[in-house]
Amino acid sequence: MPEWGYSTTELDPAKTAKASGRELRVSPKHATEVCKTIKGMRLQRAKTYLSEVIQKKAAIPFRKHKKKIPHRRGLPQKAYAGRYPVKAAQKILQILESAETNAEYKGLDIENLRIAHTSASSGMKIKRYKPRAFGRMTPHFETLTHIEVILEQIEAP
């Protein structure tokens, strides 16, 4: 079994809780956009936002991967394109709940948690081939995704 590390290490381990999902069957592009959107949010706000995305009531603004993506109502001013990446939102919500459980186990205050770090990166490729006419094959690859979340306890206002 490989030992996974996290992409950031400069946070205080006494005030943080981590969780990650490795080799998930989610689009890396969708996971990247969802992670960028929820970074910096409070935990409860991020959970409600992701549940709204799953119900297709709120859209995720696509800032990088936005070619041929339609406009969506209710996005921030800097973003015009948006989508509802339901599958990615479900997986990231599971990872957020796992990080919340880890924070509760460590004794952190659940009400004052903020998402300090999120990232999504490409994992390995599942390589398959479709048989075609005249003895040819067409590649049909699927890229898996690594997602990691770090929650940080902030001071109560």
Would you kindly state where each structural domain of the chain is located, as residue ranges? 16-153
The domain 16-153: what is its CATH number?
3.90.470.10
Range 46-79 burial, b when 16+ CB lie within 10 A, else e: bbebbeebbeeebbbbbbeeeeeeeebeebeeeb
Token pair of 104 as six digits: 């509760």
Give me the residues of the chain with pLDDT under 70, please.
1
Eight-class DSSP state of 66 = -
Token pair of 35 as six digits: 């992670």
pTM for this predicted structure = 0.91
Given this model, what pLDDT does residue 75 score? Answer: 85
Given this model, what pLDDT does residue 89 score? Answer: 97
Given this model, what pLDDT does residue 101 score? Answer: 97
Angle, CA of 42, 47 and 51, to the nearest 5°: 150
Given this model, what pLDDT does residue 78 score? Answer: 81
The helix or strand, by DSSP H or E, that contains position 90, with its residue range, turns out to be helix 86-106
First CA to last CA distance, the chain: 43
Given this model, what pLDDT does residue 20 score? Answer: 95
